[in-house]
């Protein structure tokens, strides 16, 4: 957080306190106008300064700054009350009339203007009645003069031809009420405002809070007009709100309310969004950060946790990391890869996660692919090159049906062969593909890989259950051509080569992005 913002906050707080002390004394008309303008500026500065502070402060400081903002706002409100209390006290400057019957110039009234927008009529009506209409210290001529000064646009034209006099005030007020107090038009206007709330494009805290504030304003306005939000109407509000959430917000909503089948109440949904906005805002400055990275077509959950002491995964020495371990560096590339597989370590940063979700920025310094330089394989030596390009196997893959993925001579000699095509039948499907069936000859022994049932999203956002083969040593995700056809997801042109064991390779021409999660909704 910048020092200049904190200095602005300190200066604003001091100015508000100083003005608050001054307005407690008797003020003249010039001072009332001066302090009214200052008070308006204070409110604008307060909002800008604390929006900046809350978007950059730590989670532990959020509550403290919110309380400080409320405290300063209360002081500004006290200034308004002091000014208004003196503004309406009877004195010769505000209630006297000249000998020829002309109205004297009145002090400026600090009330919001009304431009004819029917959504704003309810609040303007209540404020004007409380400050002017029901004020017995003002004559009707003065009330009409104030009324004309606060109207703009279409509202001003309604009473434009009415001259200022005691007899015309009630006539002007009645014309405005007849024009803008149509309850049906007001209800429809507030509903239209709610339905016109733009859908969230991201999970930013300000966007979520704006959605909450507008919803509350519409609901309170309907209640003031005598229309309580009943059970069915509440369901409609909840449904329409959910349609305006972005993918990230919807995901967290499903996680929160997935346990029960009942529709949450409007209050429960708004309370959830408040907590979500607060968490989203504070998580941006957290040092131990678990980020939810979402885009239009893909979703990943990346956990970035820093250990206080690096510990070598190879020799368990706490004085160095694995990439500085002399014993580990002495190993051959094949032995390093075998060790990383056994310990389920990332091929890129050597930490305890899969390379697919690794957020380390470095790549191989030799081939620039997504693996560590220490396990770089020279293609001239018939070894494996690891990459992280998400690819889609097409029918154009140049792989003969008889080819198999066999054990490498420098790895485990006792490992069995995994046959990619059952019975050498290429029509059975593409090899090692997500969602594709596979079986083996009963007469052959094979290495069994783990499988899992996953949910994958189609082009319409619906989740389809599929079977996946899990290989902890793989650095890319493969999906069958048949499953791609079922999903209907748009594909992108690419040109990539997958190098396999036993000096085999596969060239792919398309790739795609989609959401993949387990059955409980946790993204992988």
**Residues 83, 39 contacting (CB under 8 angstroms):** yes
Tell me the pLDDT tens digit for each residue of 356-377: 778 776 778 777 777 888 888 7
- In SS3 terms, 86-138 reads as HHCCCCHHHHCECCCCCECCCCCCCCCCECCCHHHHHHHHHHHHHHHHCCCCC
Please report the pLDDT score of residue 297 as a whole number. 42
- Residue range 456-498, pLDDT digits in tens: 888 777 788 888 888 777 777 888 888 887 888 888 888 777 7
Q: Please write the tens of the pLDDT for every residue from 166-221.
A: 888 888 888 888 888 777 777 777 777 777 778 777 667 777 777 788 888 878 77
User: Region 422-438: what's the mean pLDDT?
Assistant: 39
Structure confidence at residue 378 (pLDDT): 66
Question: pLDDT grade, residue 384 (50/70/90)?
Answer: very low
CA torsion through residues 258, 260, 261, 266, sign:
negative
Query: Is the confidence at residue 379, as pLDDT, over 80?
Result: no
- Provide the token pair at 241: 């709100």
By mean pLDDT, which of 89-93, 336-340, 384-388 is the weakest?
384-388
pLDDT at res. 415:
44
With pLDDT > 70 as the criterion, what percentage of the chain qualifies?
A: 72
Q: Is 50 exposed, middle or buried (0-12, 13-18, 19+ CB in 10 A)?
A: buried
pTM for the model: 0.29
Q: Assign 419 a pLDDT band (cuts: 50, 70, 90).
A: very low
> Given pLDDT bands bounded at 50, 70 and 90, which one contains residue 304?
very low
Q: What whole-number distance in Å separates Cα of residue 161 and Cα of residue 175?
A: 12
Using CA atoms in the order 124, 129, 135, 141, what is the torsion angle rounded to 10 degrees? 70
Place of tokens 């209409």: 133
Mean pLDDT, the chain, whole residue set: 71
- Separation between Cα atoms, residue 199 and residue 196, nearest integer Å: 9
């Amino acid at each position: 957080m910048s020092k200049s913002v904190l200095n602005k906050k300190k200066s604003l707080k001091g100015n508000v306190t100083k003005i608050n002390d001054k307005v407690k004394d008797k003020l003249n008309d010039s001072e009332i106008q001066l302090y009214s303008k200052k008070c308006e500026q204070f409110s604008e500065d307060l909002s800008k300064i604390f929006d900046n502070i809350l978007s950059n402060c730590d989670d532990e400081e959020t509550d403290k700054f919110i309380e400080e903002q409320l405290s300063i706002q209360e002081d500004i409100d006290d200034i308004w009350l002091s000014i208004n209390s003196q503004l309406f006290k009877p004195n010769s400057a505000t209630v006297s009339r000249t000998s020829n019957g002309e109205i004297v110039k009145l002090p400026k009234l600090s009330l919001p203007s009304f431009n004819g927008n029917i959504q704003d009529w309810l609040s303007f009506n209540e404020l004007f009645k409380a400050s002017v209409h029901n004020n017995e210290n003002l004559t009707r001529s003065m009330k009409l003069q104030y009324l004309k000064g606060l109207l703009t646009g279409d509202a001003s034209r309604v009473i434009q031809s009415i001259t200022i006099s005691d007899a015309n005030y009630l006539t002007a007020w009645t014309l405005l009420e007849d024009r803008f107090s149509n309850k049906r038009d007001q209800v429809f206007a507030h509903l239209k405002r709610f339905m016109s709330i733009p859908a969230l494009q991201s999970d930013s805290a300000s966007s979520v809070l704006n959605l909450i504030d507008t919803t509350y304003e519409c609901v309170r306005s309907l209640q003031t007009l005598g229309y309580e939000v009943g059970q069915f109407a509440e369901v409609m509000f909840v449904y329409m709100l959910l349609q305006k959430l972005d993918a990230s917000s919807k995901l967290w909503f499903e996680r929160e309310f997935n346990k029960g089948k009942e529709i949450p109440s409007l209050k429960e949904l708004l309370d959830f969004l408040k907590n979500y906005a607060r968490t989203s805002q504070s998580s941006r400055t957290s040092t131990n950060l678990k980020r939810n990275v979402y885009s239009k077509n893909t979703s990943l959950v990346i956990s970035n946790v820093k250990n206080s002491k690096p510990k070598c995964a190879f020799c368990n020495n706490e004085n160095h990391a694995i990439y500085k371990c002399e014993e580990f560096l002495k190993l051959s590339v094949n032995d390093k890869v075998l060790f990383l597989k056994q310990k389920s370590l990332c091929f890129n940063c050597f930490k305890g996660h899969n390379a697919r979700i690794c957020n380390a920025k470095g790549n191989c310094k030799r081939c620039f692919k997504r693996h560590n330089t220490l396990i770089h394989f020279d293609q001239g030596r018939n070894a494996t090159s690891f990459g992280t390009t998400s690819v889609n196997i097409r029918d154009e893959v140049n792989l003969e049906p008889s080819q198999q993925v066999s054990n490498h001579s420098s790895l485990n000699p006792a490992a069995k062969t995994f046959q990619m095509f059952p019975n050498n039948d290429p029509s059975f499907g593409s090899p090692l593909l997500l969602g594709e069936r596979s079986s083996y000859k009963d007469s052959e022994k094979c290495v069994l890989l783990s499988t899992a049932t996953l949910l994958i999203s189609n082009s319409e956002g619906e989740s389809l259950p599929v079977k996946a083969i899990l290989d902890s040593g793989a650095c890319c995700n493969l999906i069958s051509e048949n499953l791609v056809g079922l999903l209907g997801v748009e594909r992108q042109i690419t040109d990539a080569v997958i190098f396999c064991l036993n000096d085999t390779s596969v060239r792919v021409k398309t790739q795609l992005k989609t959401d993949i999660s387990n059955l409980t909704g946790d993204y992988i």
